């Protein structure tokens, strides 16, 4: 089952110069808790922003090019290859972790959404594609705790496709 997981600011911003626009450890923890032990799929540009593959997860990189990837990181060349991977274990959550280009491509076939909203306006260059929330049922809403290390109000929302 394909799930999208992302964090956006109050304007839907998700990226800045190949990185996240914010530092929000509580969201990193949330992301790690949800995705650990699962397969994660990301676009070539998002992977390029990481220093190394995400540990304790099977990393898949979407690209139409022939990539030289680190050991243990696998490539998917198309949406069809992603669907074939999902079909191998349809009950397991397969997390698509960005970026915008990949989210736009995969959204029509996703069954779950894991969204973090940060109530602050950051600057950047990459936005989440529009999601039609009429098609989604809100399953869970959790308000995050603002503290010294997590300085912006934020919340976690989980959705299933209606
Ligand atoms: N806030 C968040 O939750 C979050 C999450 C992830 C990323 N981000 C941010 O998003 C930004 C990157 O996003 P982006 O939209 O620029 O790039 P991206 O989605 O990470 O990567 C785009 C690349 O993925 C490949 N691709 C996409 N669709 C494909 C398909 N159907 N088949 C094969 N390959 C496909 C292509 O690679 P080739 O050109 O090699 O063919 C394409 O150029 C960064 O700033 C990153 O930090 C934010």
Residue 149: per-residue pLDDT: 97
Contact 79, 63 (CB under 8 A): no
Question: Does domain 2-161 sit in CATH 3.40.430.10?
Answer: yes
Rounded to the nearest 5°, which phi and psi values hold at 33? -60, -45
User: Quick check: CB of 18 below 6 Å from ligand 1?
Assistant: yes
Ligand 1 closest atom vs CA 48? 20
pLDDT of residue 106: 98
* Low pLDDT (below 50) residues in the chain: none
Rounded CA-CA distance 136/108 in Å is 12
Q: Which three-class secondary structure state does DSSP give residue 151?
A: coil
- Sequence-distant (6+) residues with CB within 8 A of 134 are 162
Half-sphere exposure in the Cβ direction for 10 (13 Å, CA): 7
In this structure, the residue with its CA closest to atom 22 of ligand 1 is 43
What are the extents of the domains in the chain? Answer: 2-161
CA of 45 to the centre of ligand 1 (A): 5
Ligand 1 atom at shortest distance from the alpha carbon of 116: 3
Q: Is 102 in the pocket of ligand 1 (CB under 6 A)?
A: yes
- Residue 51 has what pLDDT? 81
pLDDT at 127: 98
Ligand 1 pocket, 45 CB below 6 A? Answer: yes
Using most ligand atoms within 8 A of CB, pick from 44, 68, 77, 106 the residue to mutate for ligand 1: 44
Query: Which residue's CA is the nearest one to ligand 1's atom 7?
Result: 99
């Amino acid at each position: 089952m394909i799930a999208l997981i992302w964090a956006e600011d109050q304007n839907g911003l998700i990226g800045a110069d190949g990185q996240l626009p914010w530092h929000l450890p509580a969201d990193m923890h949330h992301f790690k808790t949800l995705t650990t032990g699962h397969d994660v799929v990301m676009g070539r540009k998002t992977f390029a922003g990481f220093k190394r593959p995400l540990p304790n997860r099977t990393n898949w990189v979407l690209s139409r090019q022939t990539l030289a990837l680190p050991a243990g990181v696998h490539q998917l060349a198309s949406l069809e290859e992603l669907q074939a991977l999902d079909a191998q274990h349809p009950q397991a959550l397969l997390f698509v972790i960005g970026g915008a280009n990949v989210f736009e491509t995969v959204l029509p076939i996703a069954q779950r959404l894991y969204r973090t909203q940060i109530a602050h306006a950051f600057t950047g260059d990459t936005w989440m594609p529009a999601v039609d929330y009429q098609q989604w049922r809100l399953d869970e809403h959790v308000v995050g705790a603002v503290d010294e290390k997590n300085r912006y109000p934020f919340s976690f929302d989980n959705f299933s496709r209606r």
